[in-house]
Amino acid sequence: MVKTGWHEDLAAVAIGMAVVILALAVTWQARPLADAGSRAAHPKGWSTPLAQTVGSPKAWAAAPLDAFRDKQGGIDLPPILLGMGWVVLIGAAGTLLAGRRVGAVLPGLVVLALMACFASVLAAQKTVKFYNLEYPLWALAVGLFIGNAAGVPRWLTPALMGEFFIKTGLVIFGAEVLVSRLLALGLPGLMTAWIVTPIVLVATYLFGVHGLKISSRSLCMTLSADMSVCGVSAAIATGAACKATKEELSLTIGLSLFFTVIMMVVMPPVIQAMGLDPLVGGAWLGGTIDATGAVVAAGESLGREAGEVAATVKMIQNSMIGLIAFAVAVYWSGWVDREAGGPRGSLLGEAWRRFPRFILGFLAASLVCSWLHSLGAAQALWVEGATSGFTAKLRGWLFCAGFVCMGLQTNFRQLAPVLASGRPVLLYVLGQSLNLVLTLAMASLTFGWLFRRVVEP
Amino acid sequence: MTGIQSSTTARLRLAGGALVIAGIWGVILPRMLEWGPVAQHVKLMEERRVDPSAMYYTELERLPLRPEWVDRVLVLWP
């Protein structure tokens, strides 16, 4: 993307942090005068005026136009248009910081925002939405289809800043990664998420590289993180940290969503057939199904108790993304890239030279918001309102635009040999099998026995 | 993917693709919603205000909070 001007990572950090600061400042400015610290009064945090500036297509059943209707049934376009406007604005700001002419990029950015909106409408159809086929899949599909059917016109090419959109989205996403959430279920939750997840991540990665001899280490890492941590969001974060290619990220997301749908449907009846306790069953679901929404859906179909535990265990895993992305970035810049060749200096110097700087923005946003969140009940609702009401929706638009760009630029022929070997699928299946066994053992140990309170008759 | 296909081929491909999308999203997927297991799943999720397409917990309609009953069943910090 960059010709002169700021490096892409620096631009992503500057813009991402500016968005987070804006969200916090505006939400604070509009803070409630009464019951500011009451969760009962503000279950999803303080409401933020910025929520009106970023809407997304609503769930629809048979008429796509319903995606643009409000609860009263009237057409409500402005929030969606403003959401698309953010994509154009942030794309233009990135272009400006990179030292390029904004005028040449603007028409392409508008078309890109329209394509992102189209992908979001496809993802909002209820059959698709309620079976966890998330928007990144459709954004990639829209890009792939248009790119392959018609090609990419020259005027659109400068607007295809997929990596920049993903990196900026990740920095903004950092505000949602609250470290304080790690303690939500105490020691049993920590043990289930923190002992099993790293073991599965490392074992799957090593098996992919050394056992299955998959030539791309970044594909192994992205696939392992997606499967062991929390699905697409983990794939995006670690994929960016280990510099996975567009094709590798696309393949990982496709595989993950395919298996997530299967697990979401199959696991609840299996748990019922096994006669597992709802606590253990919920923890098993939370620790194994990739996607957060699918975990809650599977848990709820088992019952309210299992649903609540499943969602909380998943949230603990969600909170690991920052640390894992950072660790992967350090490992990649310090060891993998270093081994790949080039002049060798000191380990620290080399690691720093290759380190993806936007990860620092992602971590900074996470640490600052975690700290604010820990200050008290009111501050927690402040951060939750700013993130749930605004930044989560905005980074959704940026990820969607990023995936459309990736689709438009993806050449699946490069992956054909790897795909034909079936090894990525095998890696996913074997890694997930290990995950299923270890998580069930740990959930039974912690939620079923070790920390089970002895209930007096 | 780079380069532009010849305009006639491109238009034909785009039109064909648009037809396929219209057929799937306009006819097949809405019909699937009426099919027993799918209809049941969607109804349950809507009743419980669950969004299975949430990528991260902040996208859920209800934020996961530790349920009170867990404290009665588990020793969180022995």
Q: What is the pLDDT of residues A201-241, one digit of tens each?
A: 999 999 999 999 999 999 999 999 999 998 999 999 999 99
Place of tokens 């990135």: A94
Is A30's pLDDT higher than 50? yes
Decide which of A414 and B22 is more confident.
Answer: B22
Question: In Å, how far are A78, A166, A241, A263, B40 from A55, measured between CA atoms?
Answer: 8, 19, 29, 30, 28
Distance from CA of A284 to the nearest CA of B (A): 16
Residue A254 has pLDDT above 50, yes or no: yes
pLDDT recorded at residue A48: 97
Write out pLDDT tens, residues B8-55.
888 898 999 999 999 999 999 999 999 999 999 999 999 998 999 999
Q: Does A60 touch chain B (CB under 8 A)?
A: no
Whether residue B33 contacts residue B39, with contact meaning beta carbons closer than 8 Å, is answered with yes
Interface of A with B in 341-370 (CB under 8 A): none
Residues of chain A contacting B52 with CB distance shorter than 8 Å: 129-132, 264, 291, 293-294, 296-297
pLDDT tens, A110-128? 999 999 999 999 999 999 9
Q: Are A301 and B14 a contacting pair at CB < 8 A?
A: no
Instruction: Report the residue of B20, B29, B48, B53 to disrupt the A interface, i.e. the one with the largest count of A CBs within 10 Å.
Output: B53
What ipTM does the predicted assembly reach?
0.91
Cβ pair A49, A30 in contact under 8 A: yes
- Domain residue ranges in chain B: 7-52
Query: Rounded to whole angstroms, how far apart are CA atoms A129 and B37?
Result: 15
Q: Of the candidates A157, A160, A163, A159, which has an alpha carbon nearest to the alpha carbon of residue A8?
A: A163
Q: Which residues of A touch B5 (CB under 8 A)?
A: 149-151
Nearest to B2 among A122, A149, A152 (CB): A152
Per the listing, tokens 């794309």 go with A91
How many whole angstroms separate alpha carbon A359 and alpha carbon A377?
29
Backbone angles phi, psi at A69, to 5 degrees: -95, 150
